Amino acid sequence: MGAALSEALRFAFGTLSVLRVRVDRWDRHTGGRAMLCAPLVGVVLGALAAAAGALFAWRAGGLLGAVAAVSVLAALTRGLHLDGLADVADGLGSGKPAEDALRIMKQSDIGPFGVLTLLLVLLAQVAALATRFENSLWHGALAVLASAVTARCALALGCLRGVPPARPGGLGAMVASTVPPVGALAVWAASALALTMAGLGDGWSALLLPAAVVLGLGCARLLLHRCLRRFGGITGDVLGAMAESAATGCLLTLALGPA
């Protein structure tokens, strides 16, 4: 069990972050476990981004703190999820049959739908985080951490058993239909509970953080439903887009909550 967990963690960190981790096993069994371990990647990356955001917010204000946090998260993933979001936006916006849309998503360039979607999502994330950092450094840091964890909880949602890959090959085919629902529910509950414990210092955060996780996953579920109908399954790009959708839903929930 210990060896399997170690392999899954290396798979998760090696695939979902820029951290230099040696991945010894690349198979579906390890990939499924890695998707369940993905929120731990969110904890590490989110903590680093939260620290950077709090530092900039302390010295230069909430807006710059929000930009710093979003930038650090993007850098720590090489923009992996943002790239997936742009590709999925181009595929969905093309209006073409599934095969052609998937081919558009594989192209290296970004089309107008992708550019517009990236712009709006990043603006929404920065604006939402700025409101939390302006409220307090602690609220801003918690929001960054919650969004990073929620984004990676969404990966298990996209890999639940019964969710097929849209095409053979790639990360999507590797991890599609590998996550048992019971395991996913346990991970989501543990993530929500951990965030609740982190927010116990003030009552509103303790209540709002788990709600933000649930609503963020709801946003990812809506996108997954759309992609399944449009493409017939998931790809690595779809998983990345789900992560960004979940993070944005989480942040908007926190921004709209009480100060």
pLDDT of residue 202: 66
* Total domains in the fold of the chain: 1
Res 173: pLDDT: 86
- Give residue-wise pLDDT tens across range 26-72: 788 889 999 999 999 999 999 999 999 999 999 999 999 999 999 99
Phi then psi dihedrals of residue 9, to 5 deg: -65, -40
Q: For residue 83, what are its two tokens?
A: 């790239």
Burial of 185 (0-12, 13-18, 19+ CB in 10 A): exposed
Quote the DSSP letter at residue 160: B
Q: Is the pLDDT of residue 169 over 80?
A: no
Most confident by average pLDDT, 7-16, 55-64, 106-115: 55-64
Residue 106 or residue 188, greater confidence: 188
Residue 196 domain boundaries = 2-256
| Model pTM above 0.75 | yes
> If you average pLDDT over residues 175-180, what whole number do you get?
94
Dihedral of CA 5/7/11/17: which sign? Answer: positive
Q: How far apart are CA 132 and CA 256, in angstroms?
A: 10
End-to-end CA distance of the chain: 44
Note the pLDDT tens digit of each residue in 78-96: 999 999 999 999 999 988 8
Round to whole Å and give the CA distance between 252 and 215. Answer: 9
Q: In terms of pLDDT, which residue wins out, 200 or 112?
A: 112
